[in-house]
């Protein structure tokens, strides 16, 4: 299943083809080796003062970390995300080495996740980023303490055959992709 963006201007194929599926093949597996190139891309993303204030906690379907992450997913996410091959928690380091607040920590983590996303897409791995989880429960379950802060959860895997999904998941997967026009956010 693909949802290539209908762009107003030419962009790279890997960007036009990136989308956030909710239907993952629950038989597909990913390993650290499969995700390593995407983490390498994240490693080389830019950051303020080269602080690289990001880290990732990865759970692979069937392991304890995956189960801890999946148990904190809320709402609709709890119904589809556990079919992904991996659940990845994006974490930011909120302080600089000198102990000052890093005002750009979340921005820099976002860039790292963007680089991760595009490399994963180029390698045939689909991602869906989520904010629908119990942050307090996940923070406790994973033992994340200040100055670290969980920002998001990412489902990673291989897109499921469209015939394997139904109901609300199918409706959302088949809905047309929509974005604001460039003229609405560039002036």
pLDDT for the residue 170: 83
How many domains does the structure of the chain reveal?
1
- The answer to whether the CB of 143 falls within 8 A of the CB of 65 is no
The answer to whether residue 35 sits within a structural domain is yes
Mean pLDDT, residues 160-168: 81
Residue 10 lies in a domain: no
Kindly state the percentage of the chain with pLDDT values over 90: 87
**Is 90 exceeded by the pLDDT of residue 28?**
yes
Indicate if the pLDDT at residue 162 is higher than 90: no
Q: Which helix (H) or strand (E) holds 105?
A: helix 105-122
> Higher-confidence residue: 130 or 173?
130
Residue 51: give its domain's CATH number: 3.40.109.10
What pLDDT, on the 0 to 100 scale, is given for residue 161? 82
Taking the alpha carbons at both ends of the chain, their separation in whole angstroms is 35
Range of the domain at 104: 25-173
At 1 the pLDDT is: 54
Give pLDDT, residue 132. Answer: 97
pLDDT value of position 185: 95
Residue 14 DSSP class: H
Q: What is the mean pLDDT of residues 111-131?
A: 98
The helix (run of H) or strand (run of E) holding residue 80 is helix 77-80
- In which band, very low, low, confident or very high, does the pLDDT at 3 lie, cut at 50, 70 and 90? confident
pLDDT(109) > 80:
yes
Q: How far apart are CA 83 and CA 157, in angstroms?
A: 8
Q: What is the pLDDT of residue 175?
A: 84
Contacts of 91 (CB under 8 A, 6+ apart): 54, 55, 56, 57, 109, 144, 148, 149, 150, 151
Taking 60 as the threshold, does the pLDDT of residue 133 lie above it? yes
Kindly state whether residue 6 falls inside one of the protein's structural domains.
no
Q: Cα–Cα distance between 22 and 128 in angstroms, integer?
A: 7
**Which pair of structure tokens corresponds to residue 25?**
């093949």
> Does 37 have pLDDT greater than 60?
yes
Token pair listed for 21: 């599926």
Find the mean pLDDT for residues 66-93. 96
* Residue 47 clears pLDDT 70, i.e. is over it: yes
Residue 44 lies inside a defined structural domain of this protein: yes
pLDDT of residue 2: 63
CB-CB contact of 53 with 105 (8 Å) = yes
CA dihedral 158, 162, 164, 168 (to 10 degrees): 100
Inside any domain, residue 151: yes
- The answer to the question of residue 132 being in a domain is yes
CA-CA distance, 154 to 185, in Å (whole number)?
A: 26
Q: For the whole model, what pTM was predicted?
A: 0.94
């Amino acid at each position: 299943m693909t949802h290539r963006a209908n762009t107003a201007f030419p962009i790279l194929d890997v960007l036009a083809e990136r989308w956030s599926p909710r239907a993952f093949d629950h038989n597909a597996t990913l390993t650290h080796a499969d995700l390593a190139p995407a983490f390498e891309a994240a490693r080389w993303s830019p950051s303020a003062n080269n602080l690289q204030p990001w880290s990732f906690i990865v759970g692979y379907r069937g392991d304890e970390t995956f189960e801890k992450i999946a148990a904190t997913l809320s709402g609709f996410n709890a119904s589809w995300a556990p079919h992904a091959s991996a659940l990845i928690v994006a974490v930011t380091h909120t302080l600089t080495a000198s102990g000052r607040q890093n005002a750009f920590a979340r921005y820099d983590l976002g860039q790292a996740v963007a680089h991760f996303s595009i490399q994963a897409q180029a390698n045939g791995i689909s991602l869906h980023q989520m904010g629908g989880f119990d942050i307090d429960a996940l923070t406790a379950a994973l033992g994340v303490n200040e100055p670290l802060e969980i920002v998001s959860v990412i489902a990673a895997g291989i897109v499921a055959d469209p015939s394997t999904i139904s109901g609300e998941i199918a409706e959302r997967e088949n809905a047309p992709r929509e974005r604001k026009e460039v003229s609405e956010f560039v002036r």
